[in-house]
Amino acid sequence: MTDTEAGRDADGMSGGTCVFCRIVEGTEPSQTIHEDDHTIAFLNLAQATKGHTLVVPRAHHRDLTDIPLDEAAHVMRTTVEVGRRLTGALGAKGVNLWHASGETAWQSVFHFHIHVVPRYTDTDLTPPWTEIEHPVESLRGLGAEIRRFRSAPRRLS
């Protein structure tokens, strides 16, 4: 279901409130599988595989460029815990983590979140890209360009 079909705008908002914030507040139903002072994890309504879970910070942060490092660390700690819980409880043989920041990267709800997707077979998901390996020396200029960049966090478009 798309945001539009669910009555949400481009930021995942409905009536001015983020759907993930409503889950955090307890005003939107969810199947919560983990919560602590900083994060909440709940089953995704669109199950890519059995147990597909979303981990979100309790505080609203739009994306990777908006979330403070300490909040991101809390989210990752919970992500590890949830991955372990999913593999143990459901017998998954592996886990994929997925995050998208910005509309161009397919972010659909603009509240930072990480997808934890249990894997049962090597064919239950399709890889989102094709890997083309480059000789390490051919990446020298790109590496230098990235190392030179220093900036305050900004929003992705």
Identify the band that residue 132 occupies on the pLDDT scale cut at 50, 70 and 90.
confident
Please say whether the beta carbons of 115 and 42 come within 8 A: no
pLDDT at 98: 95
pLDDT band at 96 (very low <50, low <70, confident <90, very high): very high
Residue 128 has what pLDDT?
81
pLDDT at residue 110 tops 70: yes
Among candidate residues 44, 73, 75, 70, the one with its CA nearest the CA of residue 58: 75
pLDDT of residue 48: 96
